[in-house]
Structure 1
Amino acid sequence: MKNIHCLFLMTVAFCIATLRLQGQATQETTGKAYKNVIRYDLSGALLYGPDRHIVFGYERVLKNNQSISINVGKASLFTADRNDIKTDSFSFNDDLKNNGFKINADYRFYLKKENKYQAPHGVFIGPYAAFAQFKRDNQWAYTDPNSQGKLVQTNLTMNIFTVGGEMGYQFILGKRVALDFVLIGPGFGYYKINAKIKSDLSQAQKEELRGAIKDLITEKFPGLNNILANKNFDNEGDIRTWNFGYRYIIHIGYVF
Structure 2
Amino acid sequence: MKKVLYAFALMLFVSASSVQAQEHVVKLRPFNLLGKKLTVSYEQMITERSSFMVEGGLKLNSGFTMYESQLDTDDVSMGGDAYKQRGARIAAEYRFYPGASFSPDGFYFGPYLNANHSSLSIENAEISANGNTIIADGTGGFTHFGAGIQLGYQWVFGNGFTLDWTILGLGINQYRLDMSMTPQNPGEDWATVISDIDQAYQDHPVLGAHSNIYTEGEDLKADFGFPFLHLRSAIRIGYAF
Asked if Structure 1 and Structure 2 have the same fold, meaning a TM-score greater than 0.5 normalized by the shorter chain, the answer is: yes
Structure-1 separation of matches of 2:193 and 2:54: 43
Q: Deviations over 1:83-118 (max 9, x none)?
A: x99x99987343264211111010111113xx5x65
Structure-2 separation of matches of 1:161 and 1:194: 15
4+ residue runs over 3 A deviation: 76-80, 87-94, 199-204, 206-211
Shift of 1:54: 0.5
Rg larger in structure: 2
Decide whether aligned partners of structure 1 residues 79 and 164 sit closer, same or farther in structure 2, where only a CA change above 3 A counts.
closer
Q: Which amino acid aligns with 2:112?
A: Y
What is residue 25 of structure 2 aligned with on the other side? 37
Residue 205 in 1 paired to residue 183 in 2?
no
Shift of 1:194: 1.4
Shift of 1:123: 0.7
What is residue 230 of structure 1 aligned with on the other side? 206
Decide whether aligned partners of structure 1 residues 196 and 208 sit closer, same or farther in structure 2, where only a CA change above 3 A counts.
farther
Tell me if the contact between 1:122 and 1:169 (Cα under 8 Å) persists in the aligned partners.
yes
Decide whether aligned partners of structure 1 residues 240 and 172 sit closer, same or farther in structure 2, where only a CA change above 3 A counts.
same
Unaligned runs of 5+ in 2: 1-13, 215-221
Tell me if the contact between 2:59 and 2:88 (Cα under 8 Å) persists in the aligned partners.
yes
What is residue 174 of structure 2 aligned with on the other side? 190
Show the 5 A alignment for 1:169-180. 169-180=153-164
2:141 to 142, 157, 170: 157
SS at structure 1 position matched to 2:47:
coil
Equivalent residues, number = 200
What is residue 217 of structure 2 aligned with on the other side? none
Decide whether aligned partners of structure 1 residues 169 and 207 sit closer, same or farther in structure 2, where only a CA change above 3 A counts.
farther
SS at structure 2 position matched to 1:205:
helix
Q: Deviations over 1:54-99 (max 9, x none)?
A: 011100111221111111021256455xxx99x9998734326421
Between the aligned residues of both structures, percent identity stands at: 19
SS at structure 1 position matched to 2:212:
coil
Q: Deviations over 1:170-222 (max 9, x none)?
A: 011232111101112111111111121123573442366799xx9xxxxxxxx
Decide whether aligned partners of structure 1 residues 210 and 251 sit closer, same or farther in structure 2, where only a CA change above 3 A counts.
farther
What is residue 226 of structure 2 aligned with on the other side? 241
Tell me if the contact between 1:107 and 1:128 (Cα under 8 Å) persists in the aligned partners.
yes
Decide whether aligned partners of structure 1 residues 65 and 124 sit closer, same or farther in structure 2, where only a CA change above 3 A counts.
same
Shift of 1:155: 1.6
Query: Quick check: which one's strand share is greater?
Result: 2
Structure-2 separation of matches of 1:109 and 1:102: 23
Decide whether aligned partners of structure 1 residues 36 and 204 sit closer, same or farther in structure 2, where only a CA change above 3 A counts.
farther
Aligned-residue CA RMSD (Å): 3.5
What is residue 22 of structure 1 aligned with on the other side? none
What is residue 15 of structure 1 aligned with on the other side? none
Unaligned runs of 5+ in 1: 1-29, 215-227
Structure-2 separation of matches of 1:67 and 1:92: 45
What is residue 88 of structure 2 aligned with on the other side? 101
Q: Which amino acid aligns with 2:25?
A: V
Q: Which amino acid aligns with 1:94?
A: D
What is residue 181 of structure 1 aligned with on the other side? 165
TM-score (norm 1): 0.65
